Amino acid sequence: MTAGSAPADGPVVVDARGLRCPLPVIALARRARDLPPGAVVVVLATDPAARHDVPAWARMRGHGVARIEEGPAGVWHLTVRLAAAPA
């Protein structure tokens, strides 16, 4: 597998570790803009505000929040499923 690639149906990862609010949400929104409807994005974040703001952003934009988990070393794994394409 070449560097930076992902399995064909695997989630897209936005690495926002070390970024302070509101930068993790901005990084997620930038990435989401170029993804197809229904794509799954995992945000990695160390900022405690991101744990609240990523789900809040998803609700504002009509996306779904699939999972919120705290991993080792204080890294949050925030999984968002982008909304399906508007009919």
Residues of this chain that bind another protein (CB under 8 A):
20-22, 25-26, 29-30, 33, 47-49, 52-53, 55-57, 59-60
Closest Cα partner for 37 from 83, 87, 72, 86? Answer: 83
Q: How far is the CB of 78 from another protein (least distance, A)?
A: 14
SS3 40: strand
Pairing of β 40-45 and β 12-16: parallel
21 catalytic residue (yes or no): yes
Report the residue number, 7 or 36, with the smaller CB distance to another protein. 36
Q: Cite the active site residues.
A: 21
